[in-house]
Amino acid sequence: MRVVEYPSRDKWESLAKRPTENFSSIEESVKSTIELVKTKGDPALIQLTKKFDKVTVDNIKIDEKVIKSSAKSIHSALKKAIDTAYKNIYTFHVAQASKVGKIETMPGVLCWRKSIPIEKVGLYIPGGSAPLFSTVLMLGIPAQIAGCKEVILCTPPGKGGEINPAILYAASICGIEKVYLAGGAQAIAAMAFGTETIPKADKIFGPGNQFVMLAKQYVSLSGVAIDMPAGPSEVLVIADDSAKPGFVAADLLSQAEHGPDSQVIFVSTSKKRIELVNKELSTQLKNLPRKAIAEKALTNSRAILLRNLDDAISFSNLYAPEHLILCCSGAMKIAEKVINAGSVFIGNYSPESAGDYASGTNHTLPTNGYTRAYSGVSLDSFVKKITFQEINPKGLLNIGPSIEIMAEAEQLEGHKNAVTIRINEIKKKNV
């Protein structure tokens, strides 16, 4: 990793730039892909699967029997691990459900808010270079808890044209019955506009590369909701002399191996720690199966030496990372200063991998600096919040005059009259 020592604050902005901030080079490709699927449907998906995934498929829908029998095709230890993750993720997300409480804002005026599940949701699951069955759990479980009526899952095929059975097993325990062979921007288009086989979704969820991220943003312009801008994975690690170099290097590589356009940032107050972590990176890289991918990601990454932890957390808040790991003294206190991050991992024994798989928190998080304004996926992501109000005659007499005065001041006589006509009737009855 390239090392930057004690950069002045006016250099921080440039150091916080992502390698994928400029989408101009892929914009036309993504747009043409979306338009092709929008106009030609299933034949376009089959054509694009052959072009991008180098796989010829005849049927893009996975038979429900294959989904239900997937448990037989995975090792018992993996099945047990997935079941453990399911339990923890379910426990954390079901606790997010809010109870409906009626509030009397003034006598006779009742207001409340109710969560209603989004009817049709589309889940995008990356699966080309790595079958991310964990993402099925992260999206499928809150959709299941919310009670979404229809859940559609799209994932690219493997080299043999199949879907990894672990993805299908995760889908089955989340109650997902509609699984389709489609990846990349074409899958996003299929769920956004529908095809002969794939139903149209009201909201699309899921991480992906910059093509997927741009496709989600593009279809959102056509009225299709998306979870958030979520592109290539990233992590920022803050460490001082108390950090274990091997742990830090492992965490950096765990994100670098996601894809060549991923980015990892190491911020430290210790020059010695940066040297040791770089040595560990070289050592651990040798044994990494996805070494070539991680090496490419590391060319987009950097280690930054800063003078103190206050500067480190200030830089982190500017960068606004998807994942933030705090391997430093007083990590819990430092965590209280975090204002921009998708998910925070506190202490030497809280690897980012825990959040990716089984601790219970959701790993579908905003990237590219969007944690300044967006949250990660939660139960709330799969519901709409609808407000209700019930006003009785007494309540309208109490609140009515205020409404009339405000409506008249805004020159909206129709608004005023909707209240006045009712008040007059109430007064007549009372007489």
| Nearest alpha carbon to residue 183 among 140, 125, 232 | 125
Query: What's the confidence (pLDDT) of residue 58?
Result: 87
Lookup: tokens for 334: 């430092």
Query: What's the confidence (pLDDT) of residue 20?
Result: 66
The string of pLDDT tens digits covering residues 27-86 is 999 999 999 999 999 999 999 999 998 999 989 999 999 999 999 999 999 999 999 999
Q: Please identify which of the residues 234, 257, 280, 322 carries the catalytic annotation.
A: 322
Q: Clarify whether 323 is annotated catalytic.
A: yes
Place of tokens 């609808």: 386
Q: How many CA atoms lie within 13 A of 73 on its CB side?
A: 16
Q: Clarify whether 363 is annotated catalytic.
A: no
Lookup: tokens for 322: 């998807």
Q: How far apart are the first and last CA of the chain?
A: 83
Q: Determine if the pTM surpasses 0.85.
A: yes
**Size of the chain, expressed as the number of residues it contains:** 431
The contacts of residue 348 (CB under 8 Å, 6+ apart) are 242, 243, 244, 247, 327
Lookup: tokens for 105: 């804002």
3-state secondary structure of 246: helix
Query: What's the confidence (pLDDT) of residue 35?
Result: 97
**Angle between helices 133-146 and 76-94 in degrees, nearest 10:** 40
The answer for 108, left when phi > 0, alpha when psi is -120 to 50, beta otherwise, is left
| Strand (E) or helix (H) holding 366 | none
Q: How far apart are CA 253 and CA 251, in angstroms?
A: 5
Lookup: tokens for 163: 């879907």
Beta bridge partners of 121: 151, 203
Measured at the CA of 148, the angle between CA 153 and CA 364, to 5 degrees, comes to 55
| Nearest alpha carbon to residue 71 among 82, 62, 63 | 82
Q: How far apart are CA 156 and CA 164, in angstroms?
A: 10
Q: Please identify which of the residues 280, 323, 352, 363 carries the catalytic annotation.
A: 323
Query: What's the confidence (pLDDT) of residue 284?
Result: 97
| Nearest alpha carbon to residue 420 among 390, 396, 394 | 396
| Strand (E) or helix (H) holding 387 | strand 383-391
Query: What's the confidence (pLDDT) of residue 389?
Result: 97
Q: How far apart are CA 69 and CA 66, in angstroms?
A: 5
What b/e readout covers 134-160, taking b as 16+ CB neighbours within 10 angstroms?
Answer: bbbbbbbbbbbbbebebbbbbbbbbee
Q: How many CB atoms lie within 10 A of CB 129?
A: 15
Q: Which domains does the chain have, with CATH numbers?
A: 2-20+232-360 (3.40.50.1980), 24-109+118-228 (3.40.50.1980), 392-430 (no CATH)
| Nearest alpha carbon to residue 331 among 315, 318, 319, 349 | 349
Beta strand pairing call for 323-327 and 343-346: parallel
Query: What's the confidence (pLDDT) of residue 139?
Result: 98
Query: What residues in the chain have per-residue pLDDT under 50?
Result: none
Query: What's the confidence (pLDDT) of residue 130?
Result: 73
Beta strand pairing call for 225-226 and 234-239: unpaired
Contact 414, 430 (CB under 8 A): no
Residues 207, 209, 211, 214, Cα dihedral to 10°? 50
* Max Cα–Cα distance, the chain, nearest Å: 90
Lookup: tokens for 406: 């405000």
The string of pLDDT tens digits covering residues 113-168 is 999 999 999 999 988 667 899 999 999 999 999 999 999 999 999 888 889 999 99
